[in-house]
Structure 1
Amino acid sequence: MSTMRSIRRWTGILVIARAATLAGAQPVTVIEYYNPALDHYFMSSLQPDIDALDSGHFFGWSRTGLTFQAFADPASGGPGANPVCRFYIPPPADSHFFSAFTNECAAVLAKIQTDPNYRNFAYETPSAFYIAVPDIATGACPAGTIPVYRVWNQRADSNHRYTADPATRALMLAKGYAPEGYGPDAVVMCTQGATKGDTSVRVSGFSPFALGCDGVAATATLYRGAEVEPMLARDPLDANHLIGVWQQDRWADGGAAGNLTGVSFDGGRTWSRTQAPMTRCTGGNAANGGDYPRASDPWVTIAPDGAAYQIAIAFGGGLFQPNSFGAVLVSRSADGGRTWGAATTLIRDGIAAFNDKESITADPTNANFVYATWERLVGGENGPAPTWFARTANAGASWEPAREIYAPGGNDSTLNNQIVVLPDGTLVLFFSEFDTIGNATTVLLRVIRSPDMGATWSAPITVAQSLSRGARVPETGTPIRDGANLGSIAIGSNGLLAVAWQDARFSGGARDGVAFSRSADGGLTWSTPVQINSVPGVQAIVPSIAVRDDGLIGVTYYDFRSHVPGAATLATDTWLTTSIDGTTWNESHVTGPFDFTTAPFAEGLFLGDYQALGFVGSTFVPFYVATNAASPTNLTDVFATLRTTSVVTALPAEAAREAPIVRTTRAASAPPLPMTPELEKALSDSAQLTLRRRLPGRTPPASE
């Protein structure tokens, strides 16, 4: 059954709800929703609709953050308030139509009686809400109100969008929608106030992949419909243009059926989905370079000329097993992420090596240069894994041969290599270095620098030692596969470098918190690590960092402060904390609580080794995964949350404010951590577990 038809079946409840609402005679808020699978918009002020859509009862719908004010009855709205009729249009439209003009409502009703094309239209209510109307000749709204516009998608699956935001209207017209209404601006209603506010948008949905699309026999549990490990890029030319990538349909023993892509042109409020041909499930084959059964570690970047590049590892077979193979692939988009070109192979190996944890960075100072980096594990599970690098100097037309640029020595490894570019063009490559002496492994967070676009590289500079234990479910000890011993780096427009990672130094080694360090001299020196998660008594994991153009630093992370000891679930929240000086931090809630124990299990409960954080102007955009407790066949989804409210209104701008601050804290460093033999072993075990988890096809012992 279609989603909108399901909402149509909800109508009986809606009528009851309207009767209850009328008694209160209060103003109402009309909330807009979007479904990317349908590419349809819907609006409602009725609480049963809102509850059903917000809860996921009708799957795939998310708030866009756009609302406008109306009234529940004519008495509340005054003599100028007209009833708004609501019709359901059956498939192929599978949509709704609203009008505040009695002549339009009557015309549709007449067609239902006389026109076969309208026979199955359903007249759901003559008064979904009440609102003022414009002058039919000029489109002018009454004093104290602002226009609501109607635009039509001009498709067989007819759908209208109603918005009081002129920028949104302009965007829809640019996409080919047609204006409908009165006066030169095509106005259909007049509202006393409208907001363009904070919202959480479900970016992903059900799996688009057919079972068996990878062409190989299953070797483990496939979490069909599960999305994990997202990354986000923003367009330097268009602040409202965002591209996100994530793993789709995660396998328990490594990788996913493919990586998917989400594209937004309105600052993250609505998204469309597409894919690059990097695995068989996403259209890859021998001809286009994507003939692989699995992919992982998606990353994306947008160059200053608007071209987008995404990168992934793609592979088949178990690590270092006969007939195993793997590669680092790049795909380019010339149209903002709507479509993606054939996969370019940066490196391909067979049984002798495995390439992992790659990332890609477009040079913001020169659109011709794009940089890729990863680690290459050689000779077996315990072999060395130096940092490798490749670049294009001609905007992706070709790539220079991949090469090793840093080796820690012996059988030591790097992991989680990421590049940022300073304003003067210097490259700063951030990574984790795993050094093993005897049976003990330590982890250093380090950077190397290149003044010549990657031609030469400096000696390593240490940011800090990583002292991470990794997270577990408190009651059961079930491992959580998190960001232990990894980190996230960001750069501001002024060249400020900022790093966040999980670290147990602030709790005497008892549990991981979120550590922060920064550099004001291009990565040559770094500040003493400080703790920035506001509730130090609970585990805080998987930090992601970004620096807005105005210098505000943002860090998102998960924590378990909502968990009730003894509960069978693990209540988890996502938080955003911000600071202008790295010392005082203001924390706000992003989402949750959700239950982490329902996440896919891939050598631990797994939402990703990393999440993402971006921004649009003064709005931070956390891009993250949360579980879906109400949907056992769709365990997780990717969400984008907009964290700043702006207002388009004829009333006082009461909602024009930052997201409510939950807690303000001052960051503090920690005294040297007493390194007892027990703690040293725990940290070493955590480091070694991080290294083992990168290996696809491995069956971990129960003790992990």
Structure 2
Amino acid sequence: MRTPVTRMLLSLLSTVLIISILSACNDSTNKPGQHTSTPFYTLTGGSTCVELGSHPQRPYTNVQVSHDSYLAHSEPMLVEDPHNPLHLVGGSKFFTVPAHYRFQIGYYASFDGGCTWSDGGVLPGFAKNETTSDISFAFGTHNEVYAAVLYNFKGESGIAVSTSTDGGKTFGLPVSVFDDKTGNVFSDKPWIAVDQTRGRYSGSIYVVWSYDHNGNCGYGNNCSEELAFSRSTDRGKSFSPVRLVEGSAPFCTNPTTGRPAHSTKCDAAQGIIPVVEPDGTIVLSFPYIDLMSGSIPTRILVTTSPDAGNTWTSPVLVATIHDIAGHFPHEKYRNLSLPAFACDPKTGQLYLTWADKGKKDADILFTTSKDHGQTWSAPIRVNDDPMQDGANQFQPQMAVSPDGVVSVAFFDTRLDPQHRLIDVYLTQSINKGASFLKNVRVTTQSWDPAVGAPIDEYGQQFIGDYQGLAADDHFVHPFWNDTRTGRQENFTAAVAGARPKRILR
């Protein structure tokens, strides 16, 4: 008979063994292609949607995350604890007055695999009527949770990072990354990443965003939208002065008001996403957009830094895309071709996906790079509905699990003959992005984007510009907003992950 001490030691050893096989995006300790069939959810606390040894089948349980009094929610983002797959933290816009596009950022946490959630309310430290928006999350090397947002209030605009030391149950007061009180600079779409390698820059926090200035060029754009970068080396207590790192390239020639005729500066960056490769290299992807007429196709670019942001390479052209031009036919909600970006946690292979508006409808396209973003594969189509059937696939989000399986979730109108009602679909690649498995429907009910939609400052319906996604070796967690309840609420699901294709040696 085992003594209580023996049982405790065995329990601790089991937990250590499980944690040792988990990794974040930049842990390179295991060999690619390896996989264990050991049941994954042996950590105490997993609830019914992620039971031990259980792989749920369709229809997947759709868990409503938001249960508050706010009138709408959109642009949900999600992060998973790299050392505990049952621990998830999410957030989104919480709308107070949807008709006047008034909102702040709120947050949630789950400790049972996304089956139940606590609601933390709005992030503290901001004025009641202050706008906070565009949340992104990252876990730190000491299990902190960092949340980056933009803020805008009475002509003052900036970026701030809040820190949670209790797993996302509560957040502390925001720390300023950048602040402009002149009204001349608007900071947009921040994204945060943490170096979790064991290298020289381990624990560094990186924040990137669009630094918009030089006046109004129409279409909601400034005449210069540069790529801003800042880092923290003291666990989010302070941040370095902003650096503008978009660089120059011969293909960056889009004209804007006041731009020198022969300029090749890539200062039309919007929707920048950072990843940290296993060797500590920072890679930024960003759309280079037409700031004026909207008629010049968007180019997706990447730039890299091997030294924590001290130096940067010249931007590399990944792809030229066919933009979703604001709206789909007969729809009133706005839409953008913002890409999603991720890296393989063991090999550093890079993946990019985006919505591409073809001749008749929008598809999800995908490309990959095996050489730190210097060259990219020919784009392939991810969605598997018939070509040019009129269905639109858009707002992709992507995550790569520790075992290298690539997951892409997206909005999809294929089930509605009129192509108005929206569902969430998911597909996965088990061969490093060479091909994708059959698309699976995640939502149990199609939803109407017009129901309860906030109205933005340009009179457009708003369902958000992007959704969230997290993945581990056994489950994928799409995180989206829909209107099945009669207003925009946040939902999630635990979808069984595909197994990686074995690499023969």
Query: Do both share a fold (TM > 0.5)?
Result: yes
Shift in alpha-carbon separation, 1:336–1:254, aligned structure 2, 3 A: farther
Identity value in percent:
28
> Which amino acid in 2 is paired with 1:228?
S
- Identify the match of residue 388 of structure 1 among 228, 235, 250: 228
Deviations 1:250-288 (A, max 9, x none): 6558864211111111121111111464xxxxx435xxx
Matched, 1:397 2:242: no
Deviations 1:114-158 (A, max 9, x none): xxxxxxxxxxxxxxxxxxxxxxxxxxxxxxxxxxxxxxxxxxxxx
Matched, 1:364 2:196: yes
Distance in structure 2 (CA, Å) of the matches to 1:348 and 1:252 = 27
Distance in structure 2 (CA, Å) of the matches to 1:607 and 1:437 = 24
Task: Work out whether residues 427 and 436 of structure 2, in 8 Å CA contact, stay in contact via their aligned partners in 1.
Answer: no
Which ranges of structure 2 fall in alignment gaps of 5 or more residues?
1-38, 218-222, 257-266, 500-505
Distance in structure 1 (CA, Å) of the matches to 2:215 and 2:355 = 28
Secondary structure of residue in 1 paired with 2:441: strand
- Identify the match of residue 375 of structure 2 among 525, 531, 537: 525
1:316 CA drift (Å): 2.3
Secondary structure of residue in 1 paired with 2:450: helix
Shift in alpha-carbon separation, 1:610–1:438, aligned structure 2, 3 A: closer
Higher fraction of helix: 1
Deviations 1:201-248 (A, max 9, x none): 1111223xxxxxxxxxxxxxxxx4200001111111222211111110
Shift in alpha-carbon separation, 1:395–1:534, aligned structure 2, 3 A: same
Deviations 1:509-536 (A, max 9, x none): 3321111111111111111111111123
Match of 2:411 in 1: 558
> Which amino acid in 1 is paired with 2:142?
D
Matched, 1:347 2:178: yes
> Which amino acid in 1 is paired with 2:66?
S
Task: Work out whether residues 517 and 528 of structure 1, in 8 Å CA contact, stay in contact via their aligned partners in 2.
Answer: yes
Shift in alpha-carbon separation, 1:468–1:327, aligned structure 2, 3 A: same
1:478 CA drift (Å): 2.7
> Which amino acid in 1 is paired with 2:210?
E
- Identify the match of residue 308 of structure 1 among 128, 131, 145: 145
CA RMSD of aligned residues (A): 2.8
1:394 CA drift (Å): 1.5
Match of 2:455 in 1: 601
Matched, 1:622 2:463: no
Match of 1:443 in 2: 298
> Which amino acid in 2 is paired with 1:373?
V
1:374 CA drift (Å): 0.4
> Which amino acid in 1 is paired with 2:65?
V
User: After alignment, is 243-252 or 434-443 more displaced?
Assistant: 434-443
Alignment of structure 1 residues 85-104 onto 2, 5 Å: none
Secondary structure of residue in 1 paired with 2:417: coil
1:468 CA drift (Å): 1.7
> Which amino acid in 2 is paired with 1:261?
Y
Deviations 1:566-613 (A, max 9, x none): xxx932111001112322432111003111221333343322111011
Shift in alpha-carbon separation, 1:359–1:292, aligned structure 2, 3 A: farther
- Identify the match of residue 643 of structure 1 among 495, 499, 504: 495
Match of 2:45 in 1: 171
Distance in structure 2 (CA, Å) of the matches to 1:356 and 1:169 = 38
Match of 1:431 in 2: 286
Larger Rg: 1
Matched, 1:464 2:319: yes
Distance in structure 2 (CA, Å) of the matches to 1:446 and 1:612 = 22
Distance in structure 1 (CA, Å) of the matches to 2:168 and 2:323 = 36
1:548 CA drift (Å): 1.4
Alignment of structure 1 residues 488-503 onto 2, 5 Å: 488-493=340-345, 494-503=347-356
Distance in structure 2 (CA, Å) of the matches to 1:166 and 1:302 = 21
Distance in structure 2 (CA, Å) of the matches to 1:500 and 1:359 = 17
Shift in alpha-carbon separation, 1:204–1:252, aligned structure 2, 3 A: closer
- Identify the match of residue 199 of structure 1 among 43, 61, 67: 61
Alignment of structure 1 residues 197-596 onto 2, 5 Å: 197=56, 198-207=60-69, 224-249=70-95, 256-275=102-121, 277=123, 283-285=124-126, 293-317=130-154, 324-349=155-180, 350-365=182-197, 367-382=202-217, 383-406=223-246, 411=256, 412-435=267-290, 440-470=295-325, 472=327, 474=329, 477-482=330-335, 484-493=336-345, 494-504=347-357, 507=358, 509-535=359-385, 536=387, 537=389, 538-565=391-418, 570-581=420-431, 582=433, 583-591=435-443, 592-596=445-449
> Which amino acid in 2 is paired with 1:615?
A
Task: Work out whether residues 478 and 604 of structure 1, in 8 Å CA contact, stay in contact via their aligned partners in 2.
Answer: no
> Which amino acid in 1 is paired with 2:67?
G
Task: Work out whether residues 250 and 600 of structure 1, in 8 Å CA contact, stay in contact via their aligned partners in 2.
Answer: no
1:442 CA drift (Å): 2.8
Distance in structure 2 (CA, Å) of the matches to 1:497 and 1:610 = 20
> Which amino acid in 1 is paired with 2:410?
Y
Secondary structure of residue in 2 paired with 1:385: strand
Shift in alpha-carbon separation, 1:593–1:352, aligned structure 2, 3 A: same
Task: Work out whether residues 292 and 314 of structure 1, in 8 Å CA contact, stay in contact via their aligned partners in 2.
Answer: no
1:620 CA drift (Å): 0.7
Shift in alpha-carbon separation, 1:194–1:429, aligned structure 2, 3 A: closer
Higher fraction of strand: 1
> Which amino acid in 2 is paired with 1:413?
A
Secondary structure of residue in 2 paired with 1:479: coil
The normalised TM-score by structure 2 is 0.77
1:195 CA drift (Å): 5.8
Shift in alpha-carbon separation, 1:205–1:443, aligned structure 2, 3 A: same
Distance in structure 2 (CA, Å) of the matches to 1:393 and 1:194 = 40
Distance in structure 1 (CA, Å) of the matches to 2:205 and 2:166 = 17
Shift in alpha-carbon separation, 1:168–1:364, aligned structure 2, 3 A: closer
1:644 CA drift (Å): 1.5
Task: Work out whether residues 285 and 303 of structure 2, in 8 Å CA contact, stay in contact via their aligned partners in 1.
Answer: yes
Alignment of structure 1 residues 78-157 onto 2, 5 Å: none
Shift in alpha-carbon separation, 1:527–1:276, aligned structure 2, 3 A: same
Distance in structure 1 (CA, Å) of the matches to 2:398 and 2:40 = 32
> Which amino acid in 2 is paired with 1:456?
T
Secondary structure of residue in 2 paired with 1:596: coil
Shift in alpha-carbon separation, 1:597–1:267, aligned structure 2, 3 A: same
Shift in alpha-carbon separation, 1:422–1:559, aligned structure 2, 3 A: same
> Which amino acid in 2 is paired with 1:520?
K
Distance in structure 1 (CA, Å) of the matches to 2:211 and 2:455 = 25
Distance in structure 1 (CA, Å) of the matches to 2:320 and 2:328 = 25
Distance in structure 1 (CA, Å) of the matches to 2:393 and 2:293 = 30
1:171 CA drift (Å): 3.0
Deviations 1:382-408 (A, max 9, x none): 221110011001211221112211256
Task: Work out whether residues 71 and 97 of structure 2, in 8 Å CA contact, stay in contact via their aligned partners in 1.
Answer: no
Distance in structure 2 (CA, Å) of the matches to 1:480 and 1:437 = 21
Distance in structure 1 (CA, Å) of the matches to 2:287 and 2:96 = 25
Distance in structure 2 (CA, Å) of the matches to 1:419 and 1:500 = 14
